Structure 1
Amino acid sequence: MDVDSGDPDVGRVREAAAAADWNTVREVLEARPESEGLTELLWAVGDTAGVERWITGVLEAEPDAALPRLVAGIRHLSWGWEARTGARAKDVTRAQFELFHSRLRTAEKWLYEAAEREPLWSSPWYCLQTTGRGLEVGQVVARRRFEATVRRDPQHLEAHQQQLQQVCDKWGGSHEEMHAFARASAFGAPGGTLLGQLVAIAHIEEWLSLDPGADAAYMRLAEVTNSLREAADHSYRHPDFVRRGAWLQVLNTFALAFSLAGERDSARECFRATEGRVTKFPWYYLDGSDPAAAYRKQRAAAGR
């Protein structure tokens, strides 16, 4: 299970956050351009328990600095979703929802302050996309937040992933809107783009929405397999594709999509490229407790 995409700074910043070592956290984050994997580093800090306690002192000591506010925002964002848990809405208690929304509102306060201090940063707006989904700000506001992110970073993969979720049927959109957004984003970007992953995610999302039997039949439709091949050709198969940022997650996503579609040769190609390195997304859709086991099972079925 690859928890850091091979980036040593992920583990370093996570350890610093757990130790309340703000100087190291700041050093690692400031050294990383937003377009070169900063999002993963921010989540490594945001997902670390206890950050909400020590970041308060940093905010007081640096009242004009944007970075502490960004860190406080993403921690409260992550902390909020922890309170909600991954359960279906009907299984989440009222108390959990109240705590969830309270933490997300605190996150929004810090994120807006970070955006005001650094108007060229894309990260606060990307985080606001996620808080907005939890607070159910609606499609119009959600779209504005997405557009604010991509104005600053047009190929921000995580921002596109969030917007894809926003237009999914389960979040108030539709399958048609989801697929249209995925294709427009992927093929509107230059060849070799990581955004080709969106096409695969969209098909996986529709597969998840269907009953057993209908889900397998959907993934084996000629239009679905052709769509996946076309996206692969424009993405990781393109000569301009570079293994940077979330490339490993992109290959894992196509590996799952092609496996579900019964495209063994294409799936095997992806498994070979990942070299046994498993990303939690998307394999937790098949096995939430052991994504690596799901990966191994599908890899074996593909004959790798």
Structure 2
Amino acid sequence: MALLRDWGLTLGTWVGRPVPKVQQDSGDPDVRRVREAAAAADWPAVKAVLEARAESEDRTELLWAVGDTSGVEEWITPVLEAEPEAPLPRLVAGIRHICWGWEARTGARAQDVSREQFEVFHARLRAAETWLYEVAEQQPGWTSPWYGLQITGRGLQIDAGTARRRFAATVRRDPYHLGAHQQQLQQVCEKWSGSHEEMHAFAHESAFGAPAGTALGQLVAVAHVEHWLALDRGPDTRYMRRPEVARSLQQAADHSYRHPDFERRGNWLQVYNTFAMAFSLVGDVASARECFRATQGRVTEFPWYYVDAAEPAKAYKQFRSVTGR
């Protein structure tokens, strides 16, 4: 936010002007279909959409679309009773309990969450872990239960060693799973149980240890944004203006979305939004403009909610304005 102050931009700058909307998903039509089926408690339709996709990251967004839908926790119970040996209903129940748990906790700071809210939050995460471990045992090749366990683990504040093992279990099944790497990056952030040094090392090793053209280059940009967020006003801007920060972003961009093997699928839009923010904070207008143009006005909640949690699209537009777009 320091850079916005330096440029003289405030939220009030955009009052009365059209603001882009946050895009809730990747645009995959199956996400809309599965969400509508979940809202209608239509298990056969939900099952058909999920089973048509390969396990792992191809199914992650679909599962979370179901998990984010209110009421799934009610209609999935009779499905579990009717299909006592089937892993997919258990996976859906586990993912729903993760989302349902965070609904109880809310996005408030820990000091603003009541003891009762935490109790419900933890109870739902523990229930999710039960479902997910059962699925992991039934389907040892599936990635999704281990990815879910990474998320429950952070909510339940598991130790760093257990968190690493859950991450390792996920990427052993899908080495370039972006969501799994994003979760582990958060785990090693200073604000959780790590440090800036550990976070940057993890981001760099993951991004450049993967083939060129994967989305994992985003981790480098996320790490710099997380570092910026952890600093006070003044030091935050000075950090982002270091030449080595700009160089690392350029290298990550070249290895990721600028590479000819990069595919605009899955979380590709979030990758561009993240680099747009990072390059803006660095002051690299040309590179930020490149990313904003690629988004075509489509805003992902992450990372813009770091600037404006209530209206991330406003933050996107503020930053984009500086590039002339």
TM over 0.5: yes
Is 1:4 aligned to 2:28, yes or no?
Answer: no
The letter of the residue matching 1:110 is W
Is 1:202 aligned to 2:223, yes or no?
Answer: yes
Q: For 2:58 and 2:321, how far apart are their aligned partners in 1?
A: 31
The letter of the residue matching 1:242 is E
Kindly indicate whether structure 1 or structure 2 has the higher relative contact order, using CA contacts under 8 Å at least 6 residues apart.
2
1:264 to 266, 285, 288: 285
Task: Report the CA distance between 1:230 and its aligned residue.
Answer: 0.6
User: Is the contact made by 2:105 and 2:121 (CA closer than 8 Å) also made in structure 1?
Assistant: yes
Q: For 1:135 and 1:4, how far apart are their aligned partners in 2?
A: 27
The letter of the residue matching 2:154 is R
Is 1:171 aligned to 2:195, yes or no?
Answer: no
Q: For 2:195 and 2:34, how far apart are their aligned partners in 1?
A: 38
The letter of the residue matching 1:186 is A
Task: Report the CA distance between 1:35 and its aligned residue.
Answer: 4.3
Q: CA RMSD in A?
A: 0.9
User: Is the contact made by 1:74 and 1:127 (CA closer than 8 Å) also made in structure 2?
Assistant: yes
Is 1:134 aligned to 2:149, yes or no?
Answer: no
Q: For 2:286 and 2:245, how far apart are their aligned partners in 1?
A: 16
Q: For 1:175 and 1:12, how far apart are their aligned partners in 2?
A: 40
Map of 1:297 onto structure 2 = 318
Q: For 2:136 and 2:68, how far apart are their aligned partners in 1?
A: 21
Percent identity among equivalent residues? Answer: 73
Q: For 1:87 and 1:45, how far apart are their aligned partners in 2?
A: 23
The letter of the residue matching 1:232 is A
The letter of the residue matching 1:156 is H
Q: For 2:206 and 2:162, how far apart are their aligned partners in 1?
A: 19
1:50 to 59, 64, 71: 71
Is 1:286 aligned to 2:288, yes or no?
Answer: no
Q: For 2:50 and 2:24, how far apart are their aligned partners in 1?
A: 18
Q: For 1:91 and 1:98, how far apart are their aligned partners in 2?
A: 14
Moved more, 288-297 or 22-31: 288-297
User: Is the contact made by 1:37 and 1:246 (CA closer than 8 Å) also made in structure 2?
Assistant: no
Q: For 2:241 and 2:323, how far apart are their aligned partners in 1?
A: 15
User: Is the contact made by 2:56 and 2:144 (CA closer than 8 Å) also made in structure 1?
Assistant: no
Is 1:41 aligned to 2:68, yes or no?
Answer: no
Structure 1 stretches of 4+ moved >3 Å: none
Map of 2:135 onto structure 1 = 114
**TM norm structure 2:** 0.92
Superposed, which structure 2 residues align to 1:144-159 within 5 Å? 144-159=165-180
Task: Report the CA distance between 1:217 and its aligned residue.
Answer: 1.3
Q: For 2:23 and 2:285, how far apart are their aligned partners in 1?
A: 23
What are structure 1's unaligned runs of at least 5 residues?
none
The secondary structure found in structure 2 opposite 1:34 is coil
Is 1:23 aligned to 2:44, yes or no?
Answer: yes
Q: For 1:19 and 1:135, how far apart are their aligned partners in 2?
A: 31
